[in-house]
């Protein structure tokens, strides 16, 4: 299983032993040429194997043009009240307890994190009712 590590204080993601430093776009473009990535659209790459993050399997997409990362979790989740009831969100809070004070429930399906400690411009959890899944969107 491909473990992913997301470093909130720096613009860095590690998939297994592959480190992606988002302060260096040229480095990202070079690493997306590796065999594990598939170019699915201009400047959008899919890591072809499932990743494992926050206790769930998912897919990771990198959009170099928009400077975004999306992790689409495979687990189906049906929203009854708001996104906070998801075990993915609870696992995120357990992993990064200090970030609870930076979260804002924008609407029932959208949870946003903003704060000076975050290196990322935006970190959002978004519930997609059509796919019954949660997506983590990070922009840098």
Residues 60-87 have pLDDT tens digits of 999 988 889 999 999 887 878 889 989 9
Q: Confidence band (pLDDT; 50, 70, 90) for 124?
A: very high
Of 32, 1, 38, 39, nearest to 18 by C-alpha is 32
Give the pLDDT score at 88.
Answer: 92
Give the pLDDT score at 7.
Answer: 62
Handedness of CA 96, 20, 110, 103 (dihedral sign): positive
Torsion angle (degrees, nearest 10) of CA 100, 85, 66, 72: 130
Q: Would you say residue 128 has pLDDT above 80? A: yes
Q: Would you say residue 36 has pLDDT above 80? A: yes
**What ranges do the domains of the chain cover?**
2-67, 73-139
Give the pLDDT score at 5.
Answer: 67
Q: Would you say residue 9 has pLDDT above 80? A: no
Q: Is the pTM of this model over 0.85?
A: yes
Mean pLDDT of 32-45: 84
**Residues pairing with 73 in the sheet:** 58
């Amino acid at each position: 299983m491909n473990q992913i590590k997301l470093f909130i204080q720096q613009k860095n993601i590690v998939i297994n032993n592959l480190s992606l430093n988002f302060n260096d776009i040229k480095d990202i473009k070079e690493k997306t040429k590796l065999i594990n990535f598939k170019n699915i659209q201009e400047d959008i790459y899919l890591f072809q194997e499932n990743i494992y993050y926050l206790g769930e399997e998912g897919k990771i997409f990198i959009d170099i043009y928009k400077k975004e990362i999306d992790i689409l979790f495979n687990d189906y989740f049906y929203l009854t009240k708001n996104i906070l009831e998801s075990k993915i969100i609870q696992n995120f809070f357990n992993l990064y307890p200090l970030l609870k004070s930076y979260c804002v429930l924008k609407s029932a399906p959208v949870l946003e994190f903003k704060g000076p400690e975050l290196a990322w411009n935006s970190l959002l959890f978004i519930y997609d009712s059509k796919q019954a899944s949660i997506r983590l969107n990070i922009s840098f």
